[in-house]
């Protein structure tokens, strides 16, 4: 007799949420962002459901010590347009790191999440800080190692 397979769909309320702490010191921006996006999306869990928020919270510290490879530190630019004629503003990576170092990590992870209401909900689970300190000690975050697969 053939055994039937049952597909289980996990509700958002049933997902077990954890908090992870990631140290971005001397990490490469893109590689860090892909691994953080996988955890936020929940792809590292066996209960992953594509249309549901099953992921965990991630705290990234030392965002000001992130690096880029090759010449990207000089070539990377962030573009923003106000919607008015002549309203395009271009900021280099170095200027952005001097002004808002958290934005580089936040923007990289946001670009790797879905571009819909689920993605807007998921990005709220990312907390980025430029220094060593963060206000989430009460959540007891576990350290997430990015060197292993």
pTM of the model: 0.90
Q: Which two tokens stand for residue 55?
A: 């992921």
For the domain made up of 16-68+102-143, give the CATH fold: Ribosomal Protein L13p; Chain: A; (3.90.1180)
Domain coordinates in residue numbering, the chain: 16-68+102-143
CA 133 – CA 61 distance, rounded (Å): 7
CA 56 – CA 122 distance, rounded (Å): 9
**What pLDDT digit, counting tens, does each position of 123-147 carry?**
999 999 999 999 999 999 999 988 7
Q: How does pLDDT run across 38-69, given as a tens digit for each residue?
A: 999 999 998 888 899 999 999 999 999 999 99
| Lookup result for tokens 């989430």 | 136
Name beta bridge partners: 67: 28
Please list, in sequence order, all residues whose beta carbon lies within 8 angstroms of the beta carbon of residue 35, skipping any fewer than 6 positions away.
Answer: 146
């Amino acid at each position: 007799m053939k055994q039937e397979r049952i597909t289980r769909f996990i509700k958002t309320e049933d997902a077990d949420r954890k908090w992870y702490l990631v140290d971005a010191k001397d990490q490469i921006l893109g590689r860090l962002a892909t691994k953080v996006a996988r955890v936020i999306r929940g792809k590292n869990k066996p209960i992953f459901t594509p249309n549901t928020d099953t992921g965990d919270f991630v705290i990234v510290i030392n965002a000001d010590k992130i690096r880029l490879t090759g010449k990207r530190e000089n070539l990377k630019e962030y573009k923003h347009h106000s919607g008015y004629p002549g309203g395009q503003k271009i900021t280099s990576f170095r200027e952005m790191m001097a002004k808002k170092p958290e934005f580089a990590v936040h923007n990289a992870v946001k670009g790797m999440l879905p571009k819909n209401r689920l993605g807007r909900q998921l990005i709220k689970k990312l907390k980025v800080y430029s220094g060593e300190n963060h206000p989430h000690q009460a959540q007891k975050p576990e350290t997430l190692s990015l060197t292993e697969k």
